[in-house]
Structure 1
Amino acid sequence: MNESLSENQQRERIPTEIYATADLAARSLADHIAALIRSRDAEGRPTVLGLATGSTPVRLYRQLIRLHREEHLSFKNVITFNLDEYYGLSRSHSESYWRFMQEQLFTHIDIRSGNIHLPDGTVSRGEVFSSCRKYEEQIVAAGGLDLQVLGIGRTGHIGFNEPGSTRDSRTRLVTLDQLTRRDAARDFLGEANVPRHAITMGVGTILSAKEIVLLAWGTGKAEVIARAVEDPANDSLPASFLQGHPRIRFLIDESAASLLTRRLHPWLVGPVEWTPSLTRHAVVWLAQKVGKPVLKLLDEDYSEHGMADLLTEKGPAYGLNIRIFNELQHTITGWPGGKPDADDAHRPERASPFPKRVVVLSPEPSHDVIGLGGTLRRLVEQGHDVSVIYLTSGNLAVPDEEAAMATDLVADVARTLDAASAPVDTFAVNVRMQLDRKTAVESDSLQVRKLKGLIRRGEARASMFACGLPVSRIRFLDLPFYEAGRYRQFSPGNADLTPLINLLRELTPNQIFATGRQDDPSAVTAVCFELIQEALRQLASDDWMASCRLWLYRGVDTPWNAADIDMAVPFSPRELTQKIQGIYQHKSQRSQTAFKSGHHELWQQAEHHNRTLAETFDRLGFANYEAIEAFQRWIP
Structure 2
Amino acid sequence: MNRPDSEAQQRERIRTTIHADADAACAVVAGELAALIRERQAAGRTVVLGLATGSTPVRLYRELIRLHREEKLSFRHVVTFNLDEYHGLPRTHPESYWRFMHEQLFDHLDIPPENIHLPDGTVPRAEVFGACRAYEEKFRAAGGIDVQILGIGRTGHIGFNEPGSGRDSRTRLVTLDALTRRDAARDFLGETNVPRHAITMGVGTILEARRILLLAWGEGKARVLADAVEKTPTDALPASFLQGHPGAAFHVDPAAASALTRQCHPWLVGTVAWTPGIARRAVVWLSQTVRKPVLKLLEEDYSEHGMADLLTEQGPAYGLNIRIFNELQRTITGWPGGKPDADDTHRPERAMPARKRVVVVSPEPSDDVLGMGGTLRRLVDQGHEVTVAYITSGNLGVPDEEAAMAADLVVELAGAGEETKFAQTVRRQLEAKTAFEGDTPEIRRLKGVLRRGEARASLQACGVTAPHLRFLDLPFYEQGRYRQFRAGERDVGTVATLLREVQPHQIFATGHSADPSSVAAVSFAVLRQALARTNGEAWRGDCRVWLYRGPDRDWAPAEIAMAVPFSPHELTQKIQAIYHHKSQRSQSPVVAAGLHEAWQQAEQHNRAIAVRYDQLGLAEYEAIEAFERFPDL
TM-score, normalised with respect to structure 1? 0.98
Partner SS for 1:198 = strand
Secondary structure at the counterpart of residue 272 of structure 1: coil
> Does residue 574 in structure 1 map to residue 569 in structure 2?
yes
Q: Does 1:624 align with 2:620?
A: yes
Instruction: State the partner residue of 2:12.
Output: 12
Among candidates 597, 602, 607, match of residue 598 of structure 2: 602
Query: For the residues of structure 1 that align with 2:87 and 2:581, how far apart are their CA atoms?
Result: 32
Query: Superposed, which structure 2 residues align to 1:265-276 within 5 Å?
Result: 265-276=265-276
Residue type of the alignment partner of 2:129: F
Q: For residue 600 of structure 1, report the CA deviation from its aligned partner.
A: 2.5
Whether the 8 Å CA contact 1:481–1:493 is kept in 2: the answer is yes
Structure 1 residue 429 and structure 2 residue 424: aligned?
yes
- Which residue pairs with 2:463 in the alignment? 468
Matching residue within 441, 449, 452 for 1:454? 449
CA contact (8 A) 1:80 1:117 kept: yes
Secondary structure class of the residue paired with 2:322? helix
- Using the alignment, how far apart are the partners of 1:518 and 1:422 within structure 2? 47
Asked if structure 2 preserves the Cα contact closer than 8 Å seen for 1:93 and 1:440, the reply is no
Instruction: Confirm or deny that 1:537 pairs with 2:502.
Output: no
Report Cα offsets for 1:319-365 as digits up to 9, x if no partner.
00000001011110000000111111111001100100000000000
Residue 505 (structure 1) aligned with residue 500 (structure 2): yes
- 2:112 is the counterpart of 1:112: yes
- 1:439 and 1:165 mapped to 2: Cα distance? 33
1:386 & 1:104 partners in 2: Cα distance? 40
Distance in 2, matches of 1:598 and 1:280, equals: 33
Q: CA deviation at 1:491?
A: 1.1
Counterpart selection for 2:581 from 559, 583, 586: 586
Match of 1:75, SS? coil
Alignment of 1:320-469 (within 5 A): 320-415=320-415, 421-469=416-464
Match among 544, 547, 551 for residue 549 of structure 1? 544
Asked if 1 retains the 8 angstrom alpha-carbon contact of 2:190 and 2:399, the reply is yes
How far apart are 1:558 and its partner, in Å?
1.2
| 1:300 to 2:297 alignment | no
Which residue is 1:614 aligned to? Answer: 610
Alignment of 1:226-265 (within 5 A): 226-265=226-265
Q: State the alpha-carbon separation in 2 of the partners of residues 442 and 589 from structure 1.
A: 20
Q: Distance in 1 between matches of 2:4 and 2:209?
A: 24
CA drift of 1:598 comes to 4.0
Name the structure 1 match of 2:220.
220
**The residue matched to 2:244 in structure 1 has which SS?**
coil
User: Would you identify which runs of 4 or more consecutive aligned residues in structure 1 move more than 3 Å?
Assistant: 592-595
Q: CA separation in 1, counterparts of 2:494 and 2:471?
A: 11
Report 1:167-206 matches (<5 A): 167-206=167-206
Partner of 2:474: 479
The one-letter code sitting in structure 2 at the alignment partner of 1:331 is T
**Map of 1:562 onto structure 2:** 557
Structure 2 SS opposite 1:358: strand
Structure 2 SS opposite 1:63: helix
Identity %: 69
Question: Counterpart of 1:17 in 2: which secondary structure?
Answer: strand
Deviations along 1:405-433, one digit per CA (max 9) or x if unpaired, are 11111111123xxxxx4211111111011
> Matched residue of 1:221: which SS?
helix
Deviation of 1:505 (Å): 0.3
1:206 positional shift: 0.3
For 1:123 and 1:431, how far apart are their aligned partners in 2? 35
Q: In structure 1, the residue corresponding to 2:154 is in which secondary structure?
A: coil
Q: Match of 1:536, SS?
A: helix
Distance 2:532 2:414 in 1: 47
Separation in 2, partners of 1:320, 1:189: 53
Residues 303-329 of structure 1, C-alpha deviation per residue, up to 9 Å, x if partnerless? 011100000000000000000001011
Conserved 8 A contact 1:92-1:441: no
Report deviation, 1:390.
0.3
Q: Which amino acid aligns with 1:617?
A: Y
**Residue 441 of structure 1: CA displacement?**
4.3
* Letter aligned with residue 530 of structure 1: A
Is the Cα–Cα contact under 8 Å of residues 93 and 99 in structure 1 kept in the other structure?
yes
Give the secondary structure class of the aligned counterpart of 1:149: strand
Among candidates 516, 521, 525, match of residue 520 of structure 2: 525
Partner residue in 2 for 1:75: 75
Aligned length: 629
CA contact (8 A) 2:87 2:199 kept: yes
Do the aligned residues in 1 keep the contact of 2:86 with 2:96 (CA within 8 Å)?
yes
**One-letter amino acid matched to 1:327:** E
CA-to-aligned-CA distance 1:200-256 (integer Å, 9 cap, x gap): 001111000010000000000000000000000001000001112110000000000
Equivalent position SS for 1:246: coil
The one-letter code matched in structure 1 to 2:319 is G
**Residue identity opposite 2:218 in structure 1:** G
Alignment of 1:145-156 (within 5 A): 145-156=145-156
Write the letter of the residue equivalent to 2:468: R
* Alpha-carbon separation, structure 2, partners of 1:75 and 1:441: 32
Deviation by residue 1:146-187 (Cα, 9 ceiling, x = unmatched): 000000000000000001111111111000000000000011
Partner of 1:81, secondary structure, is strand
What amino acid is the match of 1:540?
N
Instruction: Report the counterpart of residue 61 of structure 2 in structure 1.
Output: 61
Secondary structure of 1:525's match? helix
Give the aligned partner of residue 418 of structure 1. Answer: none
Query: What amino acid is the match of 2:502?
Result: L
Whole-angstrom distance in 1 between the partners of 2:392 and 2:33: 36
Q: 1:264-311: CA deviations, max 9, x gaps?
A: 000000000000000000000000000011001011100011100000
Amino acid paired to 2:120: D
| Inter-partner Cα distance in structure 2 for 1:116 and 1:448 | 36
SS of residue in 1 equivalent to 2:498: helix
Structure 2 CA distance, aligned partners of 1:440 and 1:54?
Answer: 20
Amino acid at match of 1:499: T
Q: 1:24 to 1:4 in 2, by over 3 A?
A: farther
1:73, distance to aligned residue in structure 2 (A): 0.3
Cα pair 1:363 1:392 within 8 Å, conserved: yes
Q: Which amino acid aligns with 1:533?
A: R
Unmatched 5+ residue regions in structure 1? Answer: 416-420
- Report the Cα offset of residue 4 of structure 1: 8.2
Q: Distance in 2 between matches of 1:379 and 1:350?
A: 14
| 2:630 aligned residue | 634
| Secondary structure, counterpart of 1:243 in structure 2 | helix
Instruction: Please state how far the C-alpha of 1:599 moved relative to its aligned partner.
Output: 3.5
Q: TM-score, normalised by structure 2?
A: 0.98
Task: State the distance in 2 between where 1:570 and 1:501 align.
Answer: 32
Q: Does 1:26 align with 2:26?
A: yes
**Residue 48 (structure 1) aligns with:** 48
Q: CA separation in 2, counterparts of 1:139 and 1:404?
A: 47
Distance apart, 1:537 and its partner CA? 0.6
Shift of 1:18: 0.5
Deviations 1:43-65 (A, max 9, x none): 11110000000000000000000
